Chains A and B, each alone.
Chain A
Amino acid sequence: MPDPISAAIQLDSVIKRYGDTLAVDGLTLSIPRGELFAFVGPNGAGKTTTIKMIAGLLRPDAGEIHLCGHAMHRNGQAAKSVIAYVPDQPFLYDKLTGREFLHFVARMYGVKPERRDAVLTELNTRFQMAGFLDKMTEDYSHGMKQKVVIAAALLHAPEVLVIDEPMVGLDPKTVREVKDLFTSQVRRGGTVFMSTHTLEVAEAIADRIGIINRGQLIAAGTMSELRALADRSQSLEEIFLELTEEEDEPTR
């Protein structure tokens, strides 16, 4: 059972190297339950590596990751049962239909058929998947795939939703639906950890925003806290550019 007191996501001094490159450098971060946290940073800053470690795909070289009190690399199965991970490139089995894939995921998490069907009906209406759900996923566009993997992630009502670049390839209407879905997920007590390059989305829906550059968390807080930190600046875009430029200067 998840520990109700502990943070939804807890990273303590996490380090990850790729050969000689330090991808994540002593990252410490605590995300309480019921928060929508947006993770932003330049290309190659360490966002996807951090997300993959949270999802249990990669192992930190040092440091600890806990999800709802479960240590990811000591009690992986328990930790993975409370989260859902949506990668930046959606994975689906080419030779399954979207519906077959969703049924498989539901069975994997032990979701009862009645609940599965109820959730699917709701998501089907929200994402308008009826037109393609019974076709092989190999024929799907990126946007269709993204809709199906987001639906699959929500089937078992995860405590924590970890999602990498959720808005890429989605039409404006679906972007709106996804934003609403995240906020309703948080309203119900869930936690959303989202990495994105779309700063407007982060600014509009995130409770807190973390800025990562060269593997280090250089700022984290609400929009007003970030404004205070960056002084004078107003939008997240300006804050982001100011903070990441300051970080880049010594190397020039």
Chain B
Amino acid sequence: MNPPAERAAAAPGLRLLIGLKLSVLRNLLRQAVDEAPLKVAVSVGFVALIWLGLYTLFVEIFYSLQTSLLERAVVMPVMFNIFFLALLILLTLSNAVIAYGSLFSGREPGFLLATPVPPIHLVTVKYLESLFFASWALILLGLPLMLAVANSEEEPASFYPLFLAFFLFFVPIPGALGMLLAYVAARFAPRGSRGVLLAVGVLVLAAAALWSLQLVHIGETTPRYAKVFFERMEFVEAALLPSTWVARGIERALHSDHSRALGYLTVTLANAVFASWLAVTLSARGFSRAYDRATTGSSRTRNAEPANRSNAEGLCERIFFYLPARLRFLAAKDLRTFLRDPLQWSQLAILFGLMALYLLNLPRFYTDLLETSWGTLVPFLNLCAVTLILATFTSRFVFPLVSLEGHQLWLIGLLPLPRRRILIAKFAYAFTITAIVSVTVIVLAAVSLHMHPGWALLNVVVILGVCVGLCGLAVGLGARLPMFGQLNPGRIANGFGGTINLIASVTLVVGVLTGMAVVAAHARGTGPTRPPDPTSVAAVLAIAALPLAVGLGALRLGGRHFEQLEV
């Protein structure tokens, strides 16, 4: 046995764990730069592009607000409040998801829990880790906002450190709230409560939709509407909200009112420290019970409700009614996996849910924009949002599908059907999911904007073409550049093939959108409420043919390679 004399003093757990995380991060960065410099360059390029886009957007907003002193005085504070409140909610939710995943569902906590590392150190490191990931908001949203504000006003030099300090001290508050939510869910949520949690989630979303609809349909004229709107938005300025302290503090910093800005900063810091202490202490104290509860789960949910399950499985197959039986079973298998993986369907539901909420709110403002050049721009921007979401989804969830079959490929290879047809089943699954969701959103947009049926139909044709293009690229390149040894879909999507697919998908989307931008500019004179002219129809059909050809070409390329693959 190990005699006591041979043991050094055990390294402080927290320092050791932080050192471990830094080593992992260092190796990750070194490996990324050494092995995939193209991927790093593309990622940095995309982040820079998003960053630049946000900066331009903020500059435009502040510039338009400066046209009137009244608007600047009234709208700016409300806008800051709404911005930070939205950030508070989003960061709380993202921290809750990250904290739950890293504390209760990964394998690392199980490894550390079996060692003498005190739970308080484990929880603290996980808390810092989720703060680190959440702090991307600081770089992506905070810095462009700060520079845009600085660009629009004559800022004192003291504004910059104060702004950064506000952001840094603000981030731990949603971080702590998120961790507490994760802990409460793991420790106290009833076992087998996925259905209950889903129902609560749907109710919350429905309430949010109802509230935003009420906000939109006030039924007043525009000047009166603004008054009622601001009255209803008063709650965002509640003095107890952390977002209010930050918004008011930044506003004071803008006006060189240092003492009051520092006052708000101190309040934010004190609350951040207290919330962090509370979240970490409570979570650490009950961690082993919460971990036990989260990992032992319920056997009842797996065994019960066979009738419901068979109905759901029947539905999975009926959706692919247009496929021959064997392909239908393969496609239904992928759909079942999709529906049973909350990470996949929740991501799609959240992105398109937010899109639907925005579209429901659109008519109120759009009526005022119809007479301006924005009349044709808004439908184009909707198309941009939908296609970019689709590109993200297919790159992250469709591309890894073929690689994930790696371990079962010998089994699939024994099926009495050509391998090429397996790709068709995967394509059919991906196309069905993306087409159902995106066509719904595009039709909703067309109805909300009172578009002429001709324009609505053209938009549907384009989006269907994009679905074929993106799904074909993801499945085709997935078969051409597979990563069979890997079981983690995230890693497959982030690998060389995944990066190539992402670049190809975004390039395709940019190509389609460029064409549609030209059509929108051409139709600016008539607008989308009147029938499209023959030139526009021909141009849109030609544009839709581009992704169609790319998708089918990629499928063909992937199919040829997949057919000859030796496993």
Taking a contact as CB atoms under 8 Å apart, the answer to whether A96 and B114 are in contact is: no
Taking a contact as CB atoms under 8 Å apart, the answer to whether A87 and B296 are in contact is: no
Give the shortest distance, in Å, between B342 (CB) and chain A (any CB). Answer: 19
Bound form: Cα–Cα A21–B300 in Å:
8
A25 at interface by CB-CB < 8 Å: no
B31 in complex: contacting residue of A77, A87, A136, CB < 8 Å: A136
Question: Which chain B residues in 493-547 approach chain A with CB under 8 Å?
Answer: none
Taking a contact as CB atoms under 8 Å apart, the answer to whether B114 and A80 are in contact is: yes
Bound form: Cα–Cα A85–B110 in Å:
10
Taking a contact as CB atoms under 8 Å apart, the answer to whether B1 and A57 are in contact is: no
B448-487 near A? 1/0 per residue, CB < 8 Å: 0000000000000000000000000000000000000000
Q: Chain A residues with Cβ under 8 A from B16's Cβ?
A: 104, 107-108
Q: Chain A residues with Cβ under 8 A from B6's Cβ?
A: 111-112, 115
A157 in complex: contacting residue of B2, B20, B23, B192, CB < 8 Å: B2
Residues of A within 8 A of B (CB): 16-21, 55-59, 73, 76-77, 80-81, 83, 85, 87, 89, 91, 93, 95-97, 100, 104-105, 107-113, 115, 136, 156-159, 188-190
B240 at interface by CB-CB < 8 Å: no
B263 at interface by CB-CB < 8 Å: no
Bound form: Cα–Cα A245–B299 in Å:
24
B278-304 near A? 1/0 per residue, CB < 8 Å: 000000000011011001111111000
Known: A57-B114, A157-B1. A95 touches B297 (CB 8 A): no
B1-29 near A? 1/0 per residue, CB < 8 Å: 11000111111010010001001100110
- Nearest B residue to A139, CB-CB: B485
Q: Chain A residues with Cβ under 8 A from B23's Cβ?
A: 96, 100, 104
Q: Chain B residues with Cβ under 8 A from A159's Cβ?
A: 1
A189 in complex: contacting residue of B1, B108, B301, CB < 8 Å: B1
Give the shortest distance, in Å, between B186 (CB) and chain A (any CB). Answer: 13
Taking a contact as CB atoms under 8 Å apart, the answer to whether A108 and B31 are in contact is: no
Bound form: Cα–Cα A199–B114 in Å:
27
Name the segment of B45-53, B115-123, B227-235, B434-442 touching the other chain. Answer: B115-123
Q: Chain A residues with Cβ under 8 A from B300's Cβ?
A: 19-20
Bound form: Cα–Cα A157–B107 in Å:
24
A81 in complex: contacting residue of B28, B108, B116, CB < 8 Å: B116
Q: Chain B residues with Cβ under 8 A from A21's Cβ?
A: 299
Taking a contact as CB atoms under 8 Å apart, the answer to whether B295 and A136 are in contact is: no
Known: A111-B2, A189-B1. A58 touches B24 (CB 8 A): no
Which of B108, B292, B297 has the most CB atoms of chain A within a 10 A radius of its CB?
A: B292
- Nearest B residue to A72, CB-CB: B288
Q: Chain A residues with Cβ under 8 A from B114's Cβ?
A: 55-57, 80, 83, 85
Give the shortest distance, in Å, between B288 (CB) and chain A (any CB). Answer: 6
Taking a contact as CB atoms under 8 Å apart, the answer to whether B292 and A58 are in contact is: yes
B2 in complex: contacting residue of A56, A73, A87, A156, CB < 8 Å: A156
B252 at interface by CB-CB < 8 Å: no
Q: Chain A residues with Cβ under 8 A from B333's Cβ?
A: none
Give the shortest distance, in Å, between B107 (CB) and chain A (any CB). Answer: 5
- Nearest A residue to B30, CB-CB: A95
Bound form: Cα–Cα A217–B63 in Å:
76
Taking a contact as CB atoms under 8 Å apart, the answer to whether B297 and A87 are in contact is: no
Q: Chain A residues with Cβ under 8 A from B292's Cβ?
A: 57-59
Complex A-B: 28 CB contacts under 8 Å = A18-B297, A18-B298, A19-B191, A19-B298, A21-B299, A57-B114, A57-B291, A57-B292, A58-B292, A87-B111, A91-B107, A93-B24, A96-B23, A96-B27, A100-B23, A104-B16, A104-B20, A109-B10, A109-B116, A110-B7, A110-B8, A110-B9, A111-B2, A111-B8, A113-B8, A115-B6, A136-B31, A158-B2
Q: Chain A residues with Cβ under 8 A from B298's Cβ?
A: 18-20
Bound form: Cα–Cα A185–B34 in Å:
42
Bound form: Cα–Cα A16–B293 in Å:
11
B113 at interface by CB-CB < 8 Å: yes
Give the shortest distance, in Å, between A43 (CB) and chain B (any CB). Answer: 15
Taking a contact as CB atoms under 8 Å apart, the answer to whether A77 and B116 are in contact is: yes
B20 in complex: contacting residue of A80, A93, A110, CB < 8 Å: A93
Taking a contact as CB atoms under 8 Å apart, the answer to whether A108 and B116 are in contact is: yes
Give the shortest distance, in Å, between B538 (CB) and chain A (any CB). Answer: 52
Taking a contact as CB atoms under 8 Å apart, the answer to whether A58 and B8 are in contact is: no
Taking a contact as CB atoms under 8 Å apart, the answer to whether B115 and A96 are in contact is: no
- Nearest A residue to B112, CB-CB: A108
Bound form: Cα–Cα A110–B5 in Å:
11
Q: Chain A residues with Cβ under 8 A from B1's Cβ?
A: 157, 159, 188-190
Beyond A57-B113, A59-B292, A95-B31, 16 extra complex contacts between A and B, CB < 8 Å: A18-B296, A20-B298, A57-B292, A81-B116, A87-B110, A91-B108, A95-B24, A96-B23, A96-B27, A104-B20, A108-B13, A110-B9, A112-B6, A112-B8, A136-B31, A157-B2
Q: Chain B residues with Cβ under 8 A from A156's Cβ?
A: 2, 7
* For the complex of A and B, 3 pairs with smallest distance between CB atoms: A157-B2, A110-B10, A19-B298
Bound form: Cα–Cα A91–B192 in Å:
27
Bound form: Cα–Cα A120–B302 in Å:
44
Q: Chain A residues with Cβ under 8 A from B107's Cβ?
A: 89, 91
Bound form: Cα–Cα A159–B116 in Å:
14
Q: Chain A residues with Cβ under 8 A from B2's Cβ?
A: 111, 115, 156-158
Taking a contact as CB atoms under 8 Å apart, the answer to whether A108 and B115 are in contact is: yes
Give the shortest distance, in Å, between B352 (CB) and chain A (any CB). Answer: 32
Taking a contact as CB atoms under 8 Å apart, the answer to whether B10 and A108 are in contact is: yes
Question: Which chain B residues in 44-84 approach chain A with CB under 8 Å?
Answer: none
Bound form: Cα–Cα A76–B291 in Å:
15
Bound form: Cα–Cα A89–B298 in Å:
22
Q: Chain A residues with Cβ under 8 A from B28's Cβ?
A: 95
- Nearest B residue to A56, CB-CB: B114
Q: Chain B residues with Cβ under 8 A from A110's Cβ?
A: 7-11
Which of A73, A77, A159 has the most CB atoms of chain B within a 10 A radius of its CB?
A: A77
Taking a contact as CB atoms under 8 Å apart, the answer to whether B299 and A91 are in contact is: no
Taking a contact as CB atoms under 8 Å apart, the answer to whether B288 and A111 are in contact is: no
Q: Chain A residues with Cβ under 8 A from B110's Cβ?
A: 57, 87, 91
Give the shortest distance, in Å, between A57 (CB) and chain B (any CB). Answer: 5
B175-208 near A? 1/0 per residue, CB < 8 Å: 0000000000000000110000000000000000
Give the shortest distance, in Å, between B52 (CB) and chain A (any CB). Answer: 30
- Nearest B residue to A21, CB-CB: B299
Q: Chain B residues with Cβ under 8 A from A80's Cβ?
A: 114-116
Q: Chain A residues with Cβ under 8 A from B288's Cβ?
A: 56, 59, 73, 76
- Nearest B residue to A59, CB-CB: B292
Bound form: Cα–Cα A96–B24 in Å:
6
B89-119 near A? 1/0 per residue, CB < 8 Å: 0000000000000000001101101111110
- Nearest A residue to B117, CB-CB: A108
